[in-house]
Copies of this chain bind each other. A is one copy, B any other.
């Protein structure tokens, strides 16, 4: 099919292949979102008299048909279409005639792709937040179950002080909850409707931008039409910044899980079904899922850096450079979500080996507890510290369970205060539910159904 801008010459073949790049494949991810935004735009054009009611109905019907075709894997974009927006407009023109030729009134592909990515990202964030709350919940349950299981605490990877499996797991629950705070902020910033910005400079038509925004359940309209374009890539990088913090948390967790499942520790076991083997070594059960989570933290980081590198110091207004942010965003976002889900799946199947954990309790682990005993007897801490430090060979074993129970101040092994994280988790779940409902109601009113705008990459 023809490009939208095609006039009286053909684009050079090498340049066509280069500029289209992977867009014609990547855009499969945002076809449904683009159709939803197109229905909203068309409804508004009909209200302001650009489209007749009949034209709007025809467009809406065909756009819903495309959504359905896409869900069934039957909507294909061709290299010569250039991108999904063109493929959609070409089909609309083909099926609805003049209505299709009118739908682009008052918009550009610039604000169209921004709208589609924002809808896609909104549904993505709902999934990410849901997966994150599930993981936090799993960690909290794991912490509750193992709150009394002693575990050698380390600093510098060396033996430090007595700790517990519960403290370890709860630390990650709290960290993930903080990561979710970032995800909610990203959600809030992303939840602005860009449509009506056209090519960044508006149009001399009485577009009702608020109507369009409300009809898709956006929390607000993104006001300044130039800012709309300037925020391309920015919003994607803000979302990935949040996702990156989550995978950084997971990378630490994965490292601990890999490290302490080495046979010399054996603190926990990952079921064989979650491990891969080797092509040459018959005995191997490798924690590949966790290793890949560790590696994929760099994948998400690279995606963030990629996008920020592109937008840095770009002049205002649309520049084709933005196109290159799409693949980075889609891949980075999917990677983060996969990691969260796989970690939750793994944590849910992890078994803890008390005996192996107990073996790490060598006398020196109690050195600080011993020094604090001396403090209780009145010795200044620094003196007690030196006293113990110069007589390490006199340290004797204590009972790990008693020692971890003795740390009773807030947040310590003897007093994890899991209820605090639990309460925050429930608040997050409620907020998530409200956001889902708001969108569902808007979409049902606009389209009669709630299409899924984010699907994991195959």
Contacts and interface: CB of A to CB of B under 8 A. Distances in A.
A165 to B, nearest CB: 11
Interface in A234-259: 234, 237-238, 241, 244-245, 248-249, 251-252, 254-256, 258-259
A330 B241 CA distance: 20
Interface stretch (A60-68, A117-125, A152-160): A152-160
A154 B258 CA distance: 13
A181 B170 contact: no
A227 to B, nearest CB: 4
A70 interface: no
B101 A175 contact: no
A236 to B, nearest CB: 12
A313 interface: yes
A109 to B, nearest CB: 4
A420 B106 CA distance: 23
Interface in A326-346: 328, 338, 341-342, 345
Interface string A372-386: 100100001111011
Interface residues of A, number: 191
Nearest to A198: B280
B328 A302 contact: yes
A29 interface: no
Interface stretch (A31-39, A269-277, A429-437): A269-277
Nearest to A178: B189
A3 B286 CA distance: 14
A417 interface: yes
Interface string A81-101: 000011001000100001011
Given A5-B284, A338-B18, A382-B104, A315 B209 contact: no
A147 to B, nearest CB: 12
A204 B399 CA distance: 14
A209 B273 contact: no
Interface stretch (A6-14, A130-138, A441-449): A6-14
Contact of A256 (B5, B315, B345): B315
A5 B313 contact: no
A154 B306 CA distance: 24
